[in-house]
Amino acid sequence: MAQAAKPWLLPVFCWLFALGWVWQAVERWRHREATAELGALPMAEVDAGDGPQMTVIVPACNEEDGIEATLRGLLASRGLRLQIVAVNDRSTDATGARMEAVAAEWAMQCSARQQEQQMADGEALRHRLEVLHIAALPEGWLGKPHALAMGAERAQAEWILCTDGDVVFAEDALARALGWAQQERADHLAVLPEWVVTSRAERALQGAMFAMTGWTTRTWKVADPKARDFLGVGAFNLMRRSSYEALGGFAALRMEVLEDLRMGWRVKQAGMRQRVAWGQGMVRVRWANGAWGVVRNLEKNIFALFRYRLVLALAACVGVALQVCVPVAALVVGGSAWSVLGTGWGPDAWTLAAGLVTAAALLAVYAEQRRRVAVPVGYVLLFPVALAIFLFAMLRSIAMTLSRGGVVWRGTLYPLEKLRAAAGRGW
């Protein structure tokens, strides 16, 4: 009996994977219009006051290549008034100098406009830009949460946007985000940026990573107060200032590597109103340079995602390994179409059928995400390879954190013992 049942273990296992991906594909197509597109949202109304409507905090450590484009893009924003706080977080390159250069240039433009009495036609000149330099990191803080906290202390607006020093914004992006957040009476709005890619390896990794995110986060469920789904995005986390303060700000996340995601989790746990929008064409970021760049960027994040719990992280690695191997095994072990016709519907035939169903479901997932991710559907053929690279990044993150005794971030080592103590047990 045991020997007769054994040949059916593989097809049963493969069919479980196949049905899981079918469910993923169906859910994504059913809810493909449920998550807002930032570019289609109405813009906020400019009120009659003089103060800023939004404070934008731009922390940057050694971002000399991208910081000017980020600040100039923010200063070109229209439809609202901004207070921009550029935070130079202990940079050792020209980041601080370039921040100051943009600020000085902006001050000269504003002064010239005022002298010419042309403020009426210069909506963008309503913005204010200030630069904050941080020379040292206090004990018990990570760099980015500290930089964000220092910037937030200067906030004068009702809304606070936390972003990064390498993000490029469309000139109407912030006004549309503010308008929708106000319309929805949201406490928090996370915008998923357009990930700018320039190589086939990046596209393959982007396609696989987006395909896998549906297993953990359903964007259309984030707004549902009864659902567990939540989101936080470092490139665009917009919060009502009163909500930010009620949660303790970034002082409550002072040793958090994933401060953006953790803030989103805290918003959801507190029962506050959370919203998500896609930012294609509105918010753009060049997140990584090539496949190795993706692996390097994940170095500090992956183990933190599992709250530095080794057993949980390794279990997730096993799960990803199965996602790499099982669909391929189903197609290879199942045999050819000729063998199916020749032997009837035995275990091999059912295994092959499961592999084909899995492939079709993955194709449907890639087709659904195509309009938001710059990855052609044909890249589904590289899904196992890309996912294997992602698995390597996971194992590397765990191994390097353990071997170093902590996380190295922007040249600073943060001890694992302290990170674990501050991380909490889970999401």
Structure tokens at 148: 């964000």
Structure tokens at 136: 């040292």
Question: Is there a contact between 86 and 99 (Cβ–Cβ < 8 Å)?
Answer: yes
pLDDT of residue 1: 45
Write phi, then psi, for 337 (nearest 5 degrees): -60, -30
Give the whole-angstrom CA distance, residue 312 versus residue 212. Answer: 18
The Cβ-side half-sphere exposure at 357, using a 13 Å CA radius, reads 20
Residue/partner pairs of 103-108 with CB below 8 Å, 24 or more apart: 103/129, 103/130, 103/131, 106/75
Q: How far is CA 346 from CA 4, 11, 132, 136, 256, in A?
A: 12, 10, 69, 68, 52
What average pLDDT does the segment 355-368 reach?
96
What 3-state class would DSSP assign to 98? helix
Domains of the chain plus CATH, in order, are 2-30+308-418 (no CATH), 36-200+211-297 (3.90.550.10)
Mean pLDDT of the chain: 91
pLDDT of residue 30: 96
The Cβ-side half-sphere exposure at 147, using a 13 Å CA radius, reads 30
Structure tokens at 263: 């803030």
Report the Cα 240 to chain-centroid distance in Å: 20
Question: Position of tokens 């692996």?
Answer: 295
Give the whole-angstrom CA distance, residue 317 versus residue 105. Answer: 50
What sign for the dihedral angle of Cα 67, 69, 75, 80? Answer: negative
For residues 264 and 372, the model is more confident at 264
Question: Over pLDDT 90: what percentage of the chain?
Answer: 80
Dump strand ranges (E) for 135-177: 159-162, 167-169
Give the angle 92-259-399 at the CA atoms, nearest 5°: 75
Sequence-ordered list of residues with C-beta below 8 angstroms from that of 318, at least 6 positions apart, any chain: none
What average pLDDT does the segment 390-397 reach?
97
**Closest among 389, 201, 393 to 290, alpha carbons compared:** 201
Least confident of 117-126, 341-350, 385-394: 117-126
At 376, which amino acid appears?
A: P
Tell me, yes or no, if the pTM score tops 0.85.
Answer: yes
What average pLDDT does the segment 377-399 reach?
97
pLDDT digits (tens, 9 = 90+) for 65-114: 999 999 999 999 999 999 999 999 999 999 999 999 999 999 998 887 76
Question: Is there a contact between 204 and 387 (Cβ–Cβ < 8 Å)?
Answer: no
Confidence of residue 235 (pLDDT cuts 50, 70, 90): very high
What average pLDDT does the segment 276-287 reach?
95
Give the whole-angstrom CA distance, residue 102 versus residue 75. Answer: 10
- Say whether pLDDT at 244 is over 80: yes
- Say whether pLDDT at 4 is over 60: no
pLDDT digits (tens, 9 = 90+) for 112-170: 776 565 444 445 558 999 999 999 999 999 999 999 999 999 999 999 999 999 999 99
